[in-house]
Structure 1
């Protein structure tokens, strides 16, 4: 299995023991292996392991999807959602906002993959949702042009993404081992799992197609579709930017904002309880790989700028020779012929 799958799932699939919180997990991130290591597991997880092999395959795809999106969203940051296993393992032992994002995007990926498989007919346990799409909060029917205004003969059709099944199976596989615990790390983990799922559920879109003579729209086929997973990743990245730091409540069964002046985080928000390292220098204890040798952007003012990414240590500039198409000509009909030109460009890497 690819390293990206291994890195993203360490937190998701690790056994829930007190020693794990202290020392991390070295579980090989293959759901089949997890099932082998949990033969004594009871309940829904055991049923999935024994009877739903197709579902396990989709869970693996979902983990890969989440890990790939994590790497994309953090590609220009000091911490770039590395697939280096030892580093990720140390990151996930802590309870930082980076850990929260990994939990959220992985839960979203598992939900997304299972739901997509239902619509495609790849799972025996589910199918798409047929019939009239039910109005979702804040998403009523789209406005129709005059020629498509419903008449007495107007009716519904369509086949929607079965996100309810995806949500259910994602919860069963990812949350079942943690539900009987109420320590702050578990509460934060479950909250961020749910935030990831809501990033899929709450952003479903209605798509419609009209049928009938002369645009009469006597039949309007509508269905609910999930957003692209890039949109899911973008929304969770925004939640990461505004993540809220929390502490355990006095009742021992919930959490609250670290400061009374901070608004209590909602279900869609990412939360954490530990401050992140700066990720500037390599540190085996925190899992930071540092930014030495990372390529930066001298013309940027964002997180990939040489000042930000190199932690103001400076950078070196080197020239590299690259190729590009040039002197392109259109040849009748219908071909474009180009020459290959060599160009020099400068790249900056952190010291």
Structure 2
């Protein structure tokens, strides 16, 4: 699917949030490229500005959506629901407010933050640049409280030479995560701003949890300066964590997500049980229990697990007992030719033999 098609899906599906909105970017939807953002007359505020005036930003947002979709499929590759991008399935999943929906919303918002921030650093957007606002120089303890955590990380950064701990300065070109956070919020939350029901509150909460999974875990990187590698001074800047770390962190939040119910005023939520710890901003929340995804279901979007590969020796979610939902599995033996006994010959050649490797493939019934 080309980028114009992606932009069509992003703009047009945002107009109707209940149909699966932005996640149709990851499905096999083919739409007329001439319809790109033509319906912006139905949009308002910052979202309309993005569609009408910032095509380059919209392109980066689309990349972020795709990155979030890819990470979702990686994180759920071994589970009964594998974050499929089959439209008829994903649409049904996203119409509910389950754990899976919470993760999809969070990882998408995180992907948008990531892609837009990276574009700022690379100079691909005229609206922003890398972050040069963090300034200062000196020893650990001299900086303002806002920079204390980053300063600790900078002082602990391994470096060659015998520089005194804390001799460093802010510099370089840091990742402008605040701009990425802002644009992700404009884009992801805009369709729901006028609504104040519990579903809206839950979706906006999970969107923000995804954004915070990037913003709250920025890293400090440093470079040494000095004669002969003496590292008499270190220049440090802030950088986003690898997106795989973001996905791993949100997957942990998925596993510990809290079920919530409407509060008395109907505009806020509370945990379902009084003994459950109230969720923080970075936690995921959901309103309804997930289906088991064992068998195909049109109503839930489940495709079932028949035909999925499983691990017969694993007791975990990828094991045949759990993944196949107790239906059993079939085993077939395959043989593959692979390179083996490779040797390096001077100079400069690597020679390998060909070996026949036999292995078993298990698939759910």
If the length of structure 2 is used for normalisation, what is the TM-score? 0.86
Unaligned runs of 5+ in 2: 26-30, 137-143
Cα-to-partner distance string for 1:303-350 (whole Å, 9 max, x where unaligned):
100001001111010011212112433322221111223322111100
Matched, 1:299 2:313: yes
Contact 1:282 1:288 in 2 (8 A): yes
Q: 2:276 aligns with which of 231, 242, 262?
A: 262
Separation in 2, partners of 1:257, 1:321: 52
Matched, 1:143 2:145: no
Give the match's secondary structure for 2:84: coil
Distance change in 2, residues 1:155/1:318 (3 Å): closer
Contact 1:295 1:350 in 2 (8 A): yes
RMSD of aligned C-alpha atoms?
Answer: 2.8
Unaligned runs of 5+ in 1: none
Partner of 1:132: 135
1:1-351 mapped onto 2 (5 Å cutoff): 1=1, 13-16=13-16, 20=18, 29=25, 35-130=37-132, 131-132=134-135, 135-136=146-147, 138-141=149-152, 142-143=154-155, 147-149=162-164, 155-215=169-229, 217-351=231-365
Contact 1:316 1:350 in 2 (8 A): yes
Give the match's secondary structure for 1:113: helix
Distance change in 2, residues 1:40/1:24 (3 Å): closer
Shift of 1:38: 3.0
Distance change in 2, residues 1:26/1:75 (3 Å): closer
Contact 1:159 1:222 in 2 (8 A): no
If the length of structure 1 is used for normalisation, what is the TM-score? 0.89
Shift of 1:246: 0.3
Distance change in 2, residues 1:218/1:26 (3 Å): closer
Give the match's secondary structure for 1:148: coil
Give the match's secondary structure for 2:37: helix
Contact 1:132 1:158 in 2 (8 A): no
